[in-house]
Amino acid sequence: MRIGVFVCWCGSNIGGVVDVPRVAARAAHLPYVAHSVDYKYTCSEPGQNMIVDAIQKHNLDRVVVASCSPRLHETTFRKTIARAGLNPYLLEMVNIREQCSWVHSKEPDQATAKAIDLVRMAVAKAARLEPLSEGSITVTKKAMVIGGGIAGIQAALDIADAGHKVILVEREPTIGGKMVMLDKTFPTLDCSACISTPKMVAVAQHPNIELLTYAEVTEVSGYIGNFSVTVKQKARYVDHSRCTGCGTCWEKCPQKVSSEFNQHIGIRKAIYIPFPQAVPNKPCIDAANCRRLNGKKCGVCAKVCAAGAINYEQQDEYRQVKVGAIVMATGYDLFDWTQAYGEYGYGKIPNIITGLQFERLVNASGPTGGKITRPSDGKEPQNVVFIKCVGSRDEAKGKAYCSRACCMYTAKHAHQVLEKIPGSRVFVFYMDVRAPGKAYEEFYQRTVNEGARYIRGRVSKISRKGDKLLVKGADTLLGCQVEIEADLVVLATAMVPSRGSREIARTVGFTVDQDGFFQEAHPKLRPVETNTAGIFLAGVCQGPKDIPDTVAQASAAAVKVCALLYKQEIATNPMIAEVNESKCQGCLLCRDVCPFQAIETKTIPNNAHDQAKTQTVAHVNSGLCQGCGCCTSSCRSGAINLKGFSNEQIVSAIKACLCEDNFAELVRKVRKR
Amino acid sequence: MRYAYFPGCCDHTSGREYDISTRALCHALDVELVEIPGWSCCGSTPGHSTSHLLGIALAARNLALVAEMGLDCTASCAACYQRLAMANVEMQNDPRLCEKINWITGKTYHGGVKVKSIVEIIAELNPEQIISRLVKPLENLKIAVYYGCLMVRPKAVQVDDPENPLVMDHLLEAVGAKTVDWGSKTECCGASLAISNDDVVLKLTSKILADAARAGADCIATGCPLCHFNLDMRQKKINQVFGTDYQLPVFYFTQLIGLAIGLTPDNLSFNTHFIDTSKVLELVG
C-alpha cells in the first residue's frame, strides 16, 4: 500500500494559521505514506496535475488531501485521481480549513497540532478504503411542476420548450398565482396581466404540458428519476369536456361569495371563474358555499346550462403519475397582520388594507374598475398612508427577514395614488428604503420627486377619528412625533410561505428552513436544488423575491430538470448502506430511523438445505439511500455498513487519533500537574 | 376566597372612591380582602425612576409581609399592582437581585406570592356570581373603558392585550352596559407629570376626553386612581384651557359594577367626584 498526502495552504486561509509544511513533514512518517507534500492551491489546475503526476511517479494507490470541506472539493479531487487511473473512491479528504484554521485562527500552534491529528486519522482510514463503483438508474422523461404562479408557469414552459413532457399541478381553479392579481409591475409599470396572461395561455396550449388545475399532490414516493406521484383532482361539479365557458351559470347563480381573487374586496358567485382571463376559462362550483350541494333547493346552474355540463354527483378523483423530476413553485401568502397588530386595530378598523388589496383596487379589472376608493364608503381618498415592514424585519410581531419586494411596490403604489388622484397626499412610513435592482433606485427617486413624503419611522397606533384614520408615528430623522389624518392606510405585509407548504414539503420529502421556506441545497452555489436529489425550487417558496428574480430562478430550475431528463440513466452514489444478511436479525430498527424511507424488507431462506424456511431481513433501496449512516449506528448486530464509512474505517481513524504518541504526551501532561 | 389586599396611598387619599367601592364590591361578591398589616408605599413612579433597587425594595417589603400572611395578593391601584407584580417577577428571575433586596429590606422573601390586579380577581369569578345579583342593569349607559398604561404593560405582568384590552369591557357588558369602540384605551394620561408638567398632562388628557366624547360615551370607566385624578379633577381646567365643554363623569369599574348589583351610590362614593355623577345615575334609573 502506498498512500500520497497532499496538504493545501489554500493561500493564507489555511497557511496563515496552520504550519502547513510541518503537517506535510509529519505525515511523511506515517505508516504506508510513500509521498507527502504541501502546495499553495491544490484545487488549481497545476495543483491537480501535481497529484496526477505524483500518483504515477510514486505509484500511489490511495490519496489523502488535507484542504477544505469535502462538500466543496471532494468531487474535484475524485475526478483528479480518476484521471491518474485510480478508483475515485480511494480518496480521503481532511477538512483543515472550515474545521481547523478558520475556527482556531487565534491559536496557530494548537491548530497545527489538530491538523496533524486529523491527517493521521485520515491516513489510517485511507489504508482501509475499498474501491467503490457507481450503479445506474433509468430516468422517467417527464417532469412535474407543483404550483401554477409565475414561477411554475415559467419553469413548465422552459422544460416543455426543451422538448420534455411536463405536468403542471395547481390547487386553485386557475393558474396565474399572485402575479396576475397585480395591476402594474415595477419599475417599468407594464401591465401585469398583459405580460402574464399570454404565458398562462401558452401553458394551456403547449403540446408538452398537461395542466391539472384544482388539483393537489397527496403522496410522493420513489427517488430521483423515478418519482411516483398521487394527484387528487378535486371535484369541480362541472364537466369541462362539455362546458363551453359561456358564463350563463355564474351570471344566474344566486349565491354571492366574497372573492378570493379580489382579496375579499368584491364578490363572486358560488359557481365561478376567479377572473375573466382565468386558465382554464371554465367554472367550478365552490362546494362549501353552493346552495344545492349543501342540501338546499337551488340547482339554477344545472337548469341554465345548455351543454348539460353541471354534475352535482362528481367526486374527487385520484390518479398516479410517474415523473423523473419535481419543481416546487408553491409561492407565498401574505402575513396575517390582523392577528398580530393590535395597534392597527386587529383588522377591525375599516380602510386599512394590504398591498395586494390595493393592487385589486387600482386594477382596471378589479372590483372598482381601477378607481382608488375607500372600501368603507367608496369615496376617493385624499390622504393615503403607506406603512412598510408590517410583519417583516420585526421578530416581536412577525418575521425577522426582509420581504424584498415591498419597498418597490410601495413606491409604485405611491406613484399610482399621486397619478390617479389629483391633489392627493401620500405619506410612506419606512425603516430603510431597499431598492437594489436594475432601475429600482431611479424608480424610487421618481416617486419621491412626484411628491410622496417618506417618513423614516414606524407607526405606533392607528385609531378612528370620525370617518378618518388617525395615524400616529415617529419621524426618527427629525426626532419628533407625527400625526396624520388619513383616508386610507395601505400595509406592506410580509411574504410568508403559502398555506400548507410545510405539509407539501413533508409529502414530497425535503426540508424547510426556520421560517418555513423551502431549504435550498446551498445558499450560493446550489440555490435551486434541494437536499433531496431530483427536487428543485423556483420562486418565493424558497424565500421572498420579486418577479424578475422569480422568473430567473424558475428558468434555472428548468435547466437543472432538463439536464437530468436528457440523460438515459444517472449514476448513483455508491457510498450507501449495505446489509450483511447473515448478521441481520430482522429487527428493522433501521427502518424506523431512516429519514429517506430507504429500508425495505426482504425474505431470504434461512437454511441453505431447506428453502421452505425463511426469514425477514433489511434491504437497502439504493435509489433512495442518501448515505446518512443513521441505520449503521442504530444496528445492534453491526449488520449494516455504510460504504466509504465502514465501522472498520471509522474505528481505525479513532485509534489513530488516540495513538501512542498522543497517549504518551497525555500521560506527561497529567504527571506535570 | 381570601386575598391580602394592598390599598396603596392613592386609595387612602385622592382615590378613596376606588378603595371604598372595591371593598364594598368584594364584600358583596364574597371575596374577602384582608388589608396587609403595616403595608408601606409601593414606590410608584418616583421610586423606580429614582433607582431600580429602590423601586423593587419598596415593593418587596410588602411582598414579604404578604408571604407571612400565607395569602395571594391583590391591589386595586394599577400602579401598585404593576410595582408589586414587577418586583415579584424580577426577584423570582434573579436570585442575586433577590438577595440584595432582602438585605435592603431586612426581610426574607424568595417569591411564591401571586400578585393579581383587582380587575383579574373580579374577572376570574364565575360570571353567575355577578349576574345573579344584578338588580340595576346599566342598560342605557355607554361607557368608554379606559385602561391606561400600567395595567397592560410590560408584557411580564400585563393583565390583558396591551393594544386592545377587553377584560373590563366584558365585565361592564356583563352588567348590561354598552362599551364604545374607541382608540385611546391605552393612551397615556400623563400620570404623575401632572405635578411637574401640568401643560403636558392637560394636552394628553384632553385628547382622551375628546376621543371618548367623539365615540359617544356617557362616561369613562377606569381602574387606576392616577388616571381618574387626571381625567376627573382636571376636566374643568381642560375645558378652560382648550375652550371645551366636557361633562364626562369618570368612574372606577368597581363603582359601576357595584351600582348594577344594587349597592347604593353613597356606599360607592358617587358623591365625591369632581364631575357631577347625577347624569349617569339618571340614565341608569
Question: What is the DSSP annotation of B28-51?
Answer: HTT-EEEEPTT-----HHHHHHH-
> Three cell numbers at A353?
388594507
In total, chain A counts a number of residues equal to: 673
Query: In the structure, what pLDDT confidence band is assigned to residue A608 with cuts at 50, 70 and 90?
Result: low
d(CA A406, CA A428): 12
Looking at the predicted structure, is the pLDDT value of residue A571 above 90?
Answer: no
Residue B169: how many other CB atoms lie within 10 Å = 23
Q: Is B184 on the interface with A (CB under 8 A)?
A: yes
Check whether residue A151 and residue A52 sit in a common domain: no
Given an 8 Å threshold on Cβ–Cβ distance, is B183 in contact with A470?
yes
Looking at the predicted structure, is the pLDDT value of residue A610 above 90?
Answer: no
Given an 8 Å threshold on Cβ–Cβ distance, is A465 in contact with B181?
no
Domains of chain B: 2-119 (1.20.1050.140), 135-284 (3.40.50.11810)
Residue A87 lies in a domain: yes
| Number of domains comprising chain A | 4
Taking the model in full, what pTM does it have? Answer: 0.82
Question: How confident is the model over A118-165, as pLDDT tens digits?
Answer: 999 999 999 999 999 988 889 999 999 999 999 999 999 999 999 999
d(CA B141, CA B169): 13
Query: In the structure, what pLDDT confidence band is assigned to residue A223 with cuts at 50, 70 and 90?
Result: confident
What is the nearest CA distance from A461 to chain B, expressed in angstroms? 9
Residue A469 lies in a domain: yes
Strands A271-272, A284-285: pairing is antiparallel
What is the nearest CA distance from A395 to chain B, expressed in angstroms? 15
CATH code of the domain in which A483 resides: 3.50.50.60
Q: Is B160 on the interface with A (CB under 8 A)?
A: no
Strands A142-146, A332-334: pairing is unpaired
Query: In the structure, what pLDDT confidence band is assigned to residue A600 with cuts at 50, 70 and 90?
Result: very high
Looking at the predicted structure, is the pLDDT value of residue A426 above 70?
Answer: yes
Check whether residue A470 and residue A511 sit in a common domain: no
The percent of residues in chain A predicted with pLDDT above 90, rounded, is 88
Query: In the structure, what pLDDT confidence band is assigned to residue A188 with cuts at 50, 70 and 90?
Result: very high
Looking at the predicted structure, is the pLDDT value of residue A623 above 90?
Answer: no
Q: Residue A222: which of A349, A105, A151, A325 has the closest Cα?
A: A325
Check whether residue A389 and residue A512 sit in a common domain: no
Check whether residue A349 and residue A445 sit in a common domain: yes
Helix (H) or strand (E) holding A386: strand A383-390
- Please state the rounded mean pLDDT for residues A350-377: 96
Query: In the structure, what pLDDT confidence band is assigned to residue A467 with cuts at 50, 70 and 90?
Result: very high
Residues of A at the B interface (Cβ-Cβ below 8 Å)? 341-343, 345-346, 348, 461-466, 470
User: What φ, ψ does residue A62 adopt, rounded to 5°?
Assistant: -140, 150
Check whether residue A486 and residue A519 sit in a common domain: no
What is the nearest CA distance from B167 to chain A, expressed in angstroms? 15
Residue A266 lies in a domain: no
Q: Residue B60: which of B120, B102, B112 has the closest Cα?
A: B102
- Please state the rounded mean pLDDT for residues A402-412: 97
Looking at the predicted structure, is the pLDDT value of residue A552 above 90?
Answer: yes
ipTM surpassing 0.95:
no
Query: In the structure, what pLDDT confidence band is assigned to residue A644 with cuts at 50, 70 and 90?
Result: very high
Question: How confident is the model over A55-82, as pLDDT tens digits?
Answer: 999 999 999 999 999 988 999 999 999 9
SS (H, E, C) A531-568: CCCCEEECHHHCCCCCHHHHHHHHHHHHHHHHHHHCCC
Judging contacts by C-beta atoms under 8 Å, the chain A residues touching residue B184 are: 463
Q: Is B181 on the interface with A (CB under 8 A)?
A: yes
Check whether residue A155 and residue A187 sit in a common domain: yes
Distances (CA, A) of A256 to A226, A245, A252, A304, A606: 45, 19, 11, 17, 69
Given an 8 Å threshold on Cβ–Cβ distance, is A465 in contact with B214?
yes
pLDDT in the model for residue A135: 85
Residue from B147, B161, B169, B181 to probe the interface with A (highest A Cβ count within 10 Å): B181
Domain that holds residue A608: 577-642
Check whether residue A470 and residue A346 sit in a common domain: yes
Check whether residue A175 and residue A95 sit in a common domain: no
Distances (CA, A) of B104 to A464, B60, B83, B99, B246: 48, 10, 17, 9, 47
Residue A606 lies in a domain: yes
Check whether residue A350 and residue A380 sit in a common domain: yes
Instruction: Tell me what the pLDDT averaged over chain A comes to.
Output: 94
User: Helices (DSSP H) in A595-646: which residue ranges?
Assistant: 630-634
Question: How confident is the model over B224-238, as pLDDT tens digits?
Answer: 999 999 999 999 999
Q: Residue A394: which of A316, A484, A491 has the closest Cα?
A: A491
Place of cell 401558452: A202
Question: How confident is the model over B273-282, as pLDDT tens digits?
Answer: 999 999 999 9
Residue A224 lies in a domain: no
Query: Are A119 and A94 spatial neighbours (Cβ–Cβ below 8 Å)?
Result: yes
What is the interface size between A and B, counted as CB pairs within 8 Å?
24
Residue A244 lies in a domain: no
Check whether residue A474 and residue A531 sit in a common domain: no
pLDDT in the model for residue A661: 62
Residue A280 lies in a domain: no
Check whether residue A421 and residue A449 sit in a common domain: yes
Final residue of a structural domain among A448, A478, A496: A496
Looking at the predicted structure, is the pLDDT value of residue B192 above 70?
Answer: yes
pLDDT in the model for residue B168: 97
Residue A249 lies in a domain: no
Instruction: Tell me what the pLDDT averaged over chain B comes to.
Output: 95
Given an 8 Å threshold on Cβ–Cβ distance, is A463 in contact with B184?
yes
Looking at the predicted structure, is the pLDDT value of residue A534 above 90?
Answer: yes
Residue from B164, B188, B200, B207 to probe the interface with A (highest A Cβ count within 10 Å): B164
CATH code of the domain in which A637 resides: 3.30.70.3270
d(CA A607, CA A613): 6
What is the nearest CA distance from B17 to chain A, expressed in angstroms? 31
Judging contacts by C-beta atoms under 8 Å, the chain B residues touching residue A341 are: 163
What is the nearest CA distance from A463 to chain B, expressed in angstroms? 5
- Check the CA dihedral A498-A501-A504-A505 and report its sign: positive
pLDDT in the model for residue A465: 87
Given an 8 Å threshold on Cβ–Cβ distance, is B163 in contact with A343?
yes
- Give the contacts of A291 (CB within 8 A, at least 6 positions apart): A254, A255, A270, A297, A298
Query: How many helices and strands (H and E) does chain B possess?
Result: 15, 8
Given an 8 Å threshold on Cβ–Cβ distance, is B163 in contact with A341?
yes
Final residue of a structural domain among A117, A134, A151: A134
pLDDT in the model for residue A624: 81
Judging contacts by C-beta atoms under 8 Å, the chain A residues touching residue B181 are: 348, 464
Residue A273: how many other CB atoms lie within 10 Å = 22
* Chain centroid offset of residue A535 CA: 9
Q: Is B44 on the interface with A (CB under 8 A)?
A: no
Question: How confident is the model over B32-51, as pLDDT tens digits?
Answer: 999 999 999 999 999 999 99
Check whether residue A128 and residue A154 sit in a common domain: no
SS (H, E, C) A407-436: HHHHHHHHHHHHHHCCCCEEEEEECCCCCC
Core vs surface per residue A202-238: b (16+ CB within 10 A) or e = bbeebebbbbbbbbbbeebebbbbbbebebbbbbbbb
